[in-house]
A = this chain, B = another copy of it.
Amino acid sequence: MAQTRYRQIYNILKSRIQQGTYAIGDYLPSENELCKTYKITRTTARKALDELLKEGFIEKQHGKGSKVKERRQSLGLLTVKGFSEAVGENVRTIILQKPQILSWPKELPFPADENELNAPCIYFERLRCVGDVPVMTESNWFSAHGLNRFLDCEFVDGSFFKTLSRKYLIEVTGSEQELRALFADEKSAYLLKIEQGFPILRISIKFTTSKPDLNIYSYLYCNTEKYPIGNIYTH
């Protein structure tokens, strides 16, 4: 078996959710139905559903079923309030540097895991704007291992994480972050169209994913003057 059985079922269900076969609000087949359909036991069916639950695709209701949830597009745990969510339509993303192979930088936002550095490094850089106002620069590093043809492919809906999910079946499983208030340096000031020395927020992130040896390392430099970083959290 190349994959575990529950992982196969998980993948089937996940892709059907993503393709809209099971739409938001729909109920997945019950655990017993899954057992019959795929000739598995409930333990295995439940394990597959548990994975979907962990990743926020479904919500379980005792006595009713497993309901497809609206996926909380969580950029780790940070969402930009009045930005990708609230502003919605008005958000623009400018690619400053398309994904390309670079050597690993001397310093990453967080120390990398050992194995990651064995593969080449992919780097890309974007600028996020609300209307015409640039509010955040974003630099991303990650290992190219297992991401075949990543450089050639277009982002799904312009989203990096959606691309990982849809094309490579990789989900973000967690993140570690660090926040720092800094004077804007020359580059940030130029990109964000502010004066050098203006206070900006730097967010250092390490995203962990469902793929071992794949973490995403990012720096976000944010002009929080008009668009502070919002962070919604429900326990």
**Which stretch in A4-12, A24-32, A83-91, A226-234 binds the other chain?**
A226-234
Q: Does any Cβ of B come within 8 Å of A149's Cβ? A: no
Q: Does any Cβ of B come within 8 Å of A55's Cβ? A: yes
Q: Does any Cβ of B come within 8 Å of A181's Cβ? A: yes
Q: Does any Cβ of B come within 8 Å of A199's Cβ? A: yes
Q: Does any Cβ of B come within 8 Å of A200's Cβ? A: yes
Q: Does any Cβ of B come within 8 Å of A173's Cβ? A: yes
Q: Does any Cβ of B come within 8 Å of A174's Cβ? A: yes
For A231, what are the chain B residues with a Cβ–Cβ distance below 8 Å?
Answer: 77, 176-179
Cα distance A206–B147 when bound, in Å? 40
Please classify the interface of chain A as helix (H, G, I), strand (E, B), loop, or mixed, using the class held by over half of its residues.
Answer: strand
For A177, what are the chain B residues with a Cβ–Cβ distance below 8 Å?
Answer: 230-233
Contact B173 A199 (CB under 8 A): no
Contact A235/B173 with A178-B228, A178-B230, A229-B178 known, Cβ cut-off 8 Å: yes
Cα distance A230–B180 when bound, in Å? 9
Contact A176 B232 (CB under 8 A): yes
Contact B228 A54 (CB under 8 A): no
For A182, what are the chain B residues with a Cβ–Cβ distance below 8 Å?
Answer: 181, 199
Which of B77, B172, B200, B234 is A181 in contact with, Cβ under 8 Å?
B200
CB distance from A208 to the nearest CB of B (A): 8
Contact B174 A234 (CB under 8 A): yes
List 10 A-B pairs, Cβ < 8 Å. A174-B233, A177-B233, A178-B229, A178-B231, A179-B179, A179-B230, A180-B225, A181-B222, A181-B224, A201-B201
